[in-house]
Amino acid sequence: MRPCRHYFSQEGCRYAENCRYSHDESLRQQFDENDTEQRHVDASRPSYEYCEEVTIPTENLKYLIGINGNTLRSINEKFGTYNERFLTVDDTQETFTLKLYGNSKDALQKASEAMRNVVGVKSKEERKIRSDYVINELDINTRAVKVLAACNILNKGTPRHLSEKIIRNVVSTVRFVRPQRLLHFFVSSTNGDREKLEVVSKIISQLQGVQAIVFCEQKRVEAFANVGGVQRLTKHFNGVKPKFLYRSMTKEMRMKNLEEFKNGVENEFGLKERLLVTNEDYAKLARKTVIPYVNLVINLNVPRDEFYVIQSLVAGRQGTVGISVQFVSQQDAAKFNEVRKLVHFEEFTNEEDLRDAVLQLSYDTKDHPLTPPDAEPPADWREHLNDPKPKGSQFNRH
């Protein structure tokens, strides 16, 4: 705990016993002594051969400092580096630049990477790489195979040359799926479900039928699955009863719900109406398997940037157009700004904003099916219900 600066000043501390900082005199003296020692260290800091600047999000700087600066200090001690002392931080700036000194470039690089990991910069960059791959998967995979083929030609006559059989086996593991055309819309809303579902009703009223997936947080999925939640969703999705997937479900119930979602219910236009309410686990499964056709995705809360991309890609497969609608509350504004760096959005304010997009949608019908026969779950899933579950997904079939 840190000592309260105001308590030991002429003004005093207005929070009294409710103050989050310490009013202990001995603790204040200890901090004063440490401060004096730090000043002495700064004054006698040895010269270093190399310097590097580490840029950190200002709001995350607290994670790097840690309690009493222990996190930052431990990183410096581990890699033999030193950071330039700072007394104040300008909270109005998005980023803070920390000067780092060391006697080797390798030590600076490792210390810098450790600091970026602590404040989340590294993980953010990795998420962006994954998101870019999902968006540009076909182009990236095509280029990778071309590079592999070119390198193999250059390696002809050397031990590194691969046989045609090996090349074919490698290429067979790569996905060459042309991405569908997705139209992205966002809706500014409160954080409550009532307003969001009223907007959903306006969207559904423009469609010939419901073929949709609703993504929301895990707890919200479970809350919707009760009797009242089912009735509310059925009402706002024009009478289509939702199916649910969440982690605490039994395997048999998950598979049964997936089967009913796949089969759908045929409406008066011959459309197989289907509605699934789930979380990001199903979107990750959909990256690896064939799923029933949907042309609409509703995101009730803003997911992490990479998960938005994955969730939106479940709509409009089989060479068709899909619509993805993202609700954005004031609390989600910062996360949504990160998503907008990856995807272009149009704002939805009324039915007119969506009219042109709706006209481009295709539907899974009895006469023109868009759900492949091998879509999850397989017809024989009951026979494999007790098979060992493979690693990698909450909703895998076996």
Pick the CATH number of 51-119 from 3.30.160.20, 3.30.1370.10, 1.10.3210.10, 3.30.450.20: 3.30.1370.10
Buried b (16+ CB within 10 A) or exposed e, 288-297: eeebbbbbbb
Q: Model pTM greater than 0.75?
A: no
- The pLDDT score that the predictor gives to residue 206 is 96
CA distance 318 to 322: 10
Q: How far is CA 216 from the centre of its chain?
A: 12
Q: Would you give the distance in Å from CA 71 to the centre of its chain?
A: 27
Q: Is 347 helix (H, G, I), strand (E, B) or coil?
A: strand
- pLDDT score recorded for residue 29: 72
- CATH number for the region 182-384 comes to 3.40.50.300
Dihedral over Cα of 235, 241, 372, 288: its sign: positive
CB 376 within 8 A of CB 397: yes
Give the Cα separation of 251 and 248 in Å (integer).
Answer: 9
Domains of the chain, by residue range, sit at: 1-44, 51-119, 130-172, 182-384
CB 264 within 8 A of CB 206: no
Which single residue is written with the structure tokens 């500014």?
Answer: 188
Give the separation between CA 3 and CA 102, rounded to whole angstroms.
32
φ, ψ dihedrals at 126, nearest 5°: -65, -40
Name residues of the chain where pLDDT drops below 50: 37-43, 393, 397-398
Give 276's strand partners: 213, 243
Tokens coding 297? 């995705």
Structure tokens given for 201: 């009703």
Query: Beta strand 346-347 with 50-57: parallel, antiparallel or unpaired?
Result: unpaired
Residue 247 and residue 396: Cα distance in Å, rounded?
12
- What is the CB-side half-sphere exposure of residue 244 using CA atoms within 13 A? 21
345-356 b/e with 16+ CB inside 10 Å = b? beebeeeeebee
Q: What is the pLDDT of residue 287?
A: 80
